[in-house]
Structure 1
Amino acid sequence: MEIRQLKYFMEVAKYKSITKASESLHISQPALSKMIKGLEDELGMPLIIRTNKTSDITDAGLIVLDYAQRMMMLIEEMSTTLNDITNLSRGQIHIGLPPIIGSLFFPKVIAKFHQQFPNVHINITEYGGARVVKSVEEGEFELGVAVLPIEEQKFDVYPIVEEEMKLLVHHKHKLAAREFVELYELKDEEFIFYNEEFALYQIMRDEFINQGFEPKILFKSSQWDLMSEMVAANLGVTALPESICNRVMNPDIKIIRLRPAIPWKLAVITKKDRYISYAGHTLINYILNEKQFFYYN
């Protein structure tokens, strides 16, 4: 059964005449009659009663007419909905954000995007960076924001932020007066670290191991403000991205650059070969075009 057959049948039912229906459809009467006959043969019952003057609809024809009208309405609704999506009159995006990144960079960008596209719903789930990467790979999220590096052969990567990690120490710490601290000098320090599900956990741990020591982790947390307050209480030292350090106002904390520098790179990621909605592509492009908001929070 073809949609065209149902449309032609609806036209015959409308005019109760194959002649008038063929004129309306701009096809020949024999071609229209053949189309209707094919539909009847497929359904196994007559749909119209043919006379010299009219083509009356049978009881079976009335049932087919009712379903055909509903099907045409659904097809029209589908076309309208698809048009709405491509014009961003509606849409839905599932995005995964690490908590630190979400609170730091995205409120202003999401607010501006919502003002421009109020009918696009953005569903945000906060996971640690490592779990965001896994969830994008498994299809839970259409897109996510991750800390690089990642296995780029599995993802399309759109870089958005690049800055340095910095060391936070108590103002009475022996290193507090320094402008730079070499990583190897931190061998005997006690660290306030990130939870294992955070990408920064592995990034920083690997950096210290490359310097020849395993970091002594005293506490683990997922909240940068708690980590900084622990430093202010002189419970240990930590390292945080520059943007977060810019928000630390506690006078008991000193912020120091690290050498060699440890980059902190963020990117929007999507899984390669996965369908990305028009709304999703629009959000990615919007984020890339609004990078300035990531540096003036």
Structure 2
Amino acid sequence: MELRQLKLFSEVAKYKSITKAAETMHLSQPALSKSIMALEEELGMTLIIRSNKTSDLTDAGKIVLEYAQKMNGLLDEMKTTLNDMTNLTRGQINIGLPPFIGSLFFPRVMAKFHHSFPNIELNITEYGGARVVKSVEEGEFELGVAVLPIDEQQFDIYPIVEEEMKLLVYQDHRLAMRKKVDMEELRDEEFIFYHEEFALNQIMRNHCIAAGFEPKILFKSSQWDLMAEMVAANLGITILPHSICNRVFNNEIEVIDLKQKILWRLAVLTKKDRYISNAGRTFIDFILKDPL
């Protein structure tokens, strides 16, 4: 078994497609298929369920992927450590980022960071917050950005944003003229919620339960602009961070304060006891000195 085989297998699992993985790795599809088949033959197990449209993992494949990600993470860490020892002027950072956060803050951050450190390459992958945390833990990403709270026993946490959540309702909604609304008053409302892979899903659900009710979720989405448009179409209500509300330009939507102070807190996280590259430390210092 070779480390390259595990790397190739991880790419197939990531894209759920041998064709897409081959394109990404600049390999021919037959060569990639042959490598995966050799790995399966050596392990004596089928790892991938092959079909015309997708390549899903078997139960054995999921176990191999888990260990492959750990080994690939350790290999990347070793390379980073050796590169830093040679005082290279170049660097590379793999960052996991939820789409909500990426669209709000990071274009400006990346532009300023690139201007200050043009030889450091930022490789950004967009995942939901829960998956970002798991991927940092497994070593896929050196750094991640996620919504607090996060287990501080497993991760080093660097807070970067703290702002309040706001209620969005249709212009003719019964609460539209109110300046503040109590969460308890939303008991009978239909919610437009975030997908389960986003930390805000569980955070808002917990606040609803604390107010004495289970939220009635009509739609789920990963796109804040779609959520706002659903409110404008009078399909339900939603609760979004203040920064996102500032980007909602629709006269059919009213943005209202909540009596309960519900905070949206973001942080950069790294896995405890993992070596962080000079480039990674430079990025953390940069973002802490210039808050989002």
The two structures have a TM-score, normalised by structure 1, of 0.69
Q: Larger Rg: 1 or 2?
A: 1
Q: Deviations over 1:17-67 (max 9, x none)?
A: xxxxxxxxxxxxxxxxxxxxxxxxxxxxxxxxxxxxxxxxxxxxxxxxxxx
User: Given residue 201 of structure 2, which amino acid in structure 1 is its aligned partner?
Assistant: Y
- Identify the residue that residue 90 of structure 2 maps to in structure 1: 90
Q: Percent identity?
A: 70
Residue 233 of structure 1 is matched in structure 2 by 233
Partners of 1:79 and 1:144 in 2: CA distance: 22
2:180 aligns with: 180
* CA distance in 2: counterparts of 1:131 and 1:80, whole angstroms: 28
Q: Which residue of 1 aligns with 2:137?
A: 137
- Preserved CA contact (<8 Å) 2:84 2:278: no
What is the letter of the counterpart of residue 227 of structure 1?
M
TM superposition shift of 1:116: 1.6
Give unmatched runs, 5+ long, in structure 2: 1-80
Q: Which structure 2 residues correspond to residues 262-281 of structure 1 after superposition, within 5 A? A: 262-281=262-281
Per the alignment, residue 167 of structure 1 pairs with 167
Count of paired positions? 212
Aligned partners of 2:197, 2:216: CA distance in 1, in Å? 18
C-alpha separation in 2, matches of 1:119 and 1:182 = 50
Q: Distance in 2 between matches of 1:79 and 1:215?
A: 51
| Distance across 1 between alignment mates of 2:121 and 2:83 | 18
CA positional deviation for 1:84: 4.2
- How has the CA–CA distance of structure 1 residues 162 and 196 changed in structure 2, closer, same or farther, with 3 Å as cutoff? same
- Deviation (angstroms), 1:115: 1.2
Q: Tell me the secondary structure at the aligned position of residue 152 of structure 1.
A: coil
* Aligned Cα root-mean-square deviation (Å): 1.5
Shift of the 258–272 alpha-carbon distance from structure 1 to 2, 3 Å rule, reads same
* Structure 1 residues 1-297: aligned runs within 5 Å: 82-85=85-88, 89-291=89-291, 294=292
Change (3 A) 1:192 1:83: same
- Return the alpha-carbon distance in structure 2 between the equivalents of residues 247 and 113 of structure 1: 24
Task: Give the Cα separation in 2 of the matches to 1:236 and 1:80.
Answer: 52
Once the 2 structures are TM-superposed, how far is the Cα of residue 79 of structure 1 from its aligned partner? 9.0
Output one character per residue of 1:226-246: Cα deviation in whole Å (capped at 9) or x when no partner.
000000000000000000001
Question: Alignment partner of 1:214: what SS?
Answer: coil
- Gaps of at least 5 residues in structure 1 are 1-77
Taking structure 2 as the reference length, the TM-score comes to 0.71
